[in-house]
Amino acid sequence: MLTVNAYAAPAANEPLIPTTLQRRDVGVNDVLIDIKYAGICHSDIHTVQGDWGDQHYPLTPGHEIVGYVSEVGSEVTNHQVGDQVGVGCLVNSCRDCENCRKGEEQFCTGGNVGTYGAVDRDGSITQGGYSTAVVVDADFVLRIPEALDFAAAAPLLCAGITTYSPLRHWNVGPGSRVAVVGMGGLGHVGVQIAHALGAEVTVLSQTLSKQEDGKRFGADHYYATSDPETFTQLAGSFDFILNTVSAEIELDAYLSLLALDGTMTNVGAPPVPLSLNVFALIGARRSFAGSLIGGIRETQEMLDFCAEHGVEAATELIGAEQINEAYERVQSSKVRYRAVIDTSTLD
């Protein structure tokens, strides 16, 4: 067993504190990764606060992990010592169900294993990337292209795949009229990916305060949803809407912005139920859908796509002692746009 330094939440709604973790010995198909950077995702905050259900504490979050391979198991052939790699939201799945065989491990019918707070196949509780090292099954370790800035690549392992997967699934490309709701940690990456896919991209944000950033990330248009005229002006305008916010919104108003056969997909996960009037759908054969990250194969595809098109998260690099402050800033939308922990500060 390897002892590593980490930060963990001792209980719900308590500040994260320094601690140590025990990582398992490297098995025949495992990879030991010395973690260099770990992104802070809004999901981390929801999870450690218990917003999405009871948790096992103490809990070390973090599913946006990049680092270097320092040891591989005897049967590992796809990674070697010194490789630049990453780990996203998944570290295991059943491998046998239909969804896993299709490369959709996020929808594993036997229950996928999340990078932290999940029960692994050996019965242990997984602990995440706010730490100095992690042992992961080689099948769930991703190659980080050299063309990507290493720190900026970390958030792509959640924010990147969370936005890339629905944009690809609903065939966004040249000629598509796409709206991205929210210009935060997810939205600013979604704008870049939609632009790189060739779509005409509109940002729908509460205010115009981030308009210049939106244009820099590739948005063609930018509207404030706090202005009621926005919904009148843009009625029936979009083929696809990507909702990235994790807050309650008026779904009927946003659905009215879809054209005939348009789809609105939620990737933000608010802790309260959302409701809609079915007539907002049937009046123009619209669809309302959801999407959950992506499988390992698609996540690697996303990383390669981002490297090819220069898509990276805008990051603020922080030390471990700033994690709790960063949580507060994420919740108040003051981080532009992803906080990333330099894990060398955990030593």
Domains present along the chain, CATH in parentheses: 1-157+311-343 (3.90.180.10), 158-288 (3.40.50.720)
36, 336, 343 from 137: Cα distances, Å:
18, 33, 21
Predicted local confidence at residue 121, as pLDDT: 79
Query: How high is the pLDDT of residue 51?
Result: 86
Residue 195: CB atoms within 10 A of its CB come to: 19
Residue 242 has pLDDT above 90, yes or no: yes
Angle at alpha carbon of residue 86, lines to 302 and 160, rounded to 5°: 30
Beta strands in the chain (DSSP E): 2-8, 17-23, 30-39, 65-72, 84-87, 90-92, 113-114, 133-137, 142-143, 177-181, 200-205, 221-224, 238-243, 258-266, 287-290, 315-318, 338-342
The pLDDT assigned to 116 comes to 98
pLDDT digits (tens, 9 = 90+) for 138-196: 999 999 999 999 999 999 999 999 999 999 999 999 999 999 999 999 999 999 999 99
At 10 the pLDDT is: 97
List C-alpha distances in Å: 90 to 47, 104, 139, 181. Answer: 15, 11, 10, 26
| Cβ 154 vs Cβ 37: under 8 Å | yes
Instruction: Say if residues 338 and 316 touch (Cβ distance below 8 Å).
Output: yes
- Would you place residue 246 in the very low, low, confident or very high pLDDT band (cuts 50, 70, 90)? confident
Residue 59 to residue 16: CA distance in whole angstroms:
9
Identify the band that residue 81 occupies on the pLDDT scale cut at 50, 70 and 90.
very high
Locate 96 and state its tokens.
């046998």
Distance, CA of 110 to CA of 14 (rounded, Å): 32
- Give this prediction's pTM: 0.97
Please work out, in degrees rounded to the nearest 5, the angle formed at the alpha carbon of residue 90 by the alpha carbons of 45 and 328: 10
Cα 38 to chain centroid distance, Å, stands at: 12
What is the structure's pLDDT at 272?
85
Q: What percent of the chain shows pLDDT beyond 70? A: 100
User: Could you give the percent of the chain with pLDDT greater than 90?
Assistant: 94
The residue type found at 170 is W
